[in-house]
Amino acid sequence: MPRRGAFIVIEGLDRSGKSTQAATLLRRLQDAQISAKLIKFPDRTTPIGKMIDSYLRSENELDDHTVHLLFSANRWEFASSIEKSLQSGETIICDRYAFSGLAFSASKIRPGSQSYPLLDYEWCRVPDIGLPAPDITLFLDVSADVARKRGGYGEERYEKEDVQRRVRDVFVRISEHVQGGGGRWEVIDADETQEEVQEVVWKTVQELVAGVDAPLEKLWDDKREVTNVETLYM
């Protein structure tokens, strides 16, 4: 049977160098004659993506639950095309995925509180259950100091130091559970130079990019078999 493409997700905080690393990895794969493409979430081109874009640029206000579901819906819009590409042998590099969805939403705190969550962690995780599961997630871990030296954050809604600190805490929590149906999770020190980080990225994905024999899994799918209707509601 022909091998399918690898599904490689790159995650990290803003200023971690994700987009640069993703673009460099794509070039290297193409130079090595490996069929590959780069996708990115949020994908701001669809009608849902446009709503997300204007929310991120603070042009409109939306309820936090609504925003969370829009980000998830934006990933679901591409689920079947991701699956099709992987099955046809194309490797996908994906700049942000469901883990960003969980980290950015579950790190929100109630107004006036220092630490009380606005959205429940499990509630945030559920809408993304069943998406195509990555074969590997590379978490580019940048320190606040280095992010600051890289020119600080931009103008968008979440690009603030206290927000990024809380998001990082949730990413750490995610990394502890992700192995259960979330694929492999690799933390990469993103404080190093672009070239050094790329070398680690390249080495880490080496054995995957020749193609994957294992079937494509579903994200956070606990594989419980439902044998009758009652068990559905237990």
Asked if 42 is part of the footprint of ligand DGP (rule: CB under 6 A), the reply reads: yes
Give min distance, CB of 215 to ligand DGP, in A.
26
Q: Could you tell me the smallest distance in angstroms from the CB atom of residue 115 to ligand DGP?
A: 18
Smallest gap from residue 225 Cβ to ligand DGP (A): 30
CA distances from 22 to 9, 17, 91, 232 (A): 9, 9, 12, 40
Q: Cβ(15)–Cβ(150) under 8 Å?
A: yes
Selected binder of ligand DGP within 91, 100, 137, 198 (CB under 6 A): 100
Q: Is residue 40 exposed (0-12), middle (13-18) or buried (19+ Cβ within 10 Å)?
A: middle
| 169 is a site residue for ligand DGP (CB under 6 A) | no
Closest approach of Cβ 65 to ligand DGP, in Å?
A: 11
Question: What is the nearest approach in angstroms of ligand DGP to the Cβ of residue 30?
Answer: 22
Q: For residue 30, what are its two tokens? A: 């193409």
Query: Sheet harboring 136-141: ordered strands across?
Result: 36-40, 91-95, 7-12, 136-141, 184-189
Least distance from ligand DGP to the Cβ atom of residue 132, Å: 16
- Cα–Cα distance measured from residue 76 to residue 97, given in angstroms and rounded to the nearest whole number: 11
**Is 96 one of the binding residues for ligand DGP (CB under 6 A)?**
yes
How many Å apart are CA 135 and CA 117, to the nearest integer?
30
Q: Which is nearer to ligand DGP, 19 or 204 (CB)?
A: 19
The number of residues that bind ligand DGP (CB under 6 A) is 15
The correct pick among 104, 139, 171, 220 for binding ligand DGP (CB under 6 A) is 104
Helices (H) and strands (E) in the chain, counts: 11, 5
Map residues 128-157 to x or -, x wherever contact with ligand DGP holds by CB under 6 A: ----------------------------x-
Q: Is 56 in the site for ligand DGP (CB under 6 A)?
A: yes
Distance CA 198, CA 194 (A): 6
Contacting positions for ligand DGP (CB under 6 A) = 14, 41-42, 56, 67-68, 71, 96, 100-101, 104-105, 156, 158-159
